[in-house]
Amino acid sequence: MSVEKNLIPACQDDWQAYVNHSFVQQLAAGTLAMPCYAHYLKQDFLFLKQYARAWALAIYKSDSLEQMRANLPAVQGLLDVEIGLHIDYCAEWGLDEQQLQAVPEATATVAYTRYVLDCGQSGDQLDLHVALAPCSLGYAVIGQQLAADKNTLMEGNPYRAWIEMYSSEGFQTGAQSHLDYLNNLLAELPDDSPRWQRLQQIFATATRMEVAFWQQGLDAA
């Protein structure tokens, strides 16, 4: 039992709407309107702060030192590296940290991040990691797809750095580590466990939240 066999197939339509969203397609073509991308960058900064809180919650929800240590690198990476890189990248688009901090959270940002945190607070570590998974795994799939697609515009594409970031070896390795960790947790569940239905619901809801996050960027045009 795994993410690939039990969670993604259970919400295939939502998953495809996420990884092949028009926002992503326009990024690949270099045609995404700048206001849409600027809105996305601002909201993604706010998302990353809540995402770090969720990973910190995963440490709190851990049952052993081994699990705590397994979750720690994600928190450190977000706080020490990824958020800083995002701030630097936003600066290239004329958005400084003070501006990012002053931006109010959009509806889809609030809904998504608080849903993930609620899954962790009301459930256990497995619930939380299933809610976290569409983000890391979906961006890895999108990065791979865009990098491999001969129709993806690279030369002269203003969003080339974004594509290269999520198709990079570093990001792909991190996403694979999360997938492996989650699949190990899922493997502990019996195939006939009543929890599978709940976990599928969590994964599907978080995936729909990702679709809404893309859409709010497009709606900013």
- Do the beta carbons of residue 131 and residue 116 sit within 8 Å? yes
* Cα separation, 69 vs 4, whole angstroms: 25
* pLDDT tens digit sequence for 27-59: 999 999 999 999 999 999 999 999 999 999 999
Read off the pLDDT of residues 165-188 as tens digits, 9 standing for 90 and up: 999 999 999 999 999 999 999 999
* pLDDT value of position 202: 98
Average confidence (pLDDT) per 10 residues, the chain, 221 residues:
93 98 98 97 97 97 95 95 95 94 97 98 97 97 97 97 96 96 95 93 98 97 78
Q: What pLDDT score was predicted for residue 191?
A: 87
- Alpha-carbon distances, residue 60 vs 29, 63, 64, 93 (angstroms): 42, 8, 10, 36
pTM of this structure = 0.95
Q: What is the pLDDT of residue 1?
A: 79
CA distance 126 to 93: 37
The 3 state secondary structure assigned to 133-197 is: HHHHHHHHHHHHHHHHCCCCCCCCCCCHHHHHHHHCHHHHHHHHHHHHHHHHHHHCCCCCCCHHH
Model pLDDT, residue 84: 95
State residue 19's pLDDT score: 98
Structural domains in the chain, CATH included, are 3-218 (1.20.910.10)
Residues contacting residue 211 through CB under 8 Å, at least 6 positions apart: 14, 17, 18, 21
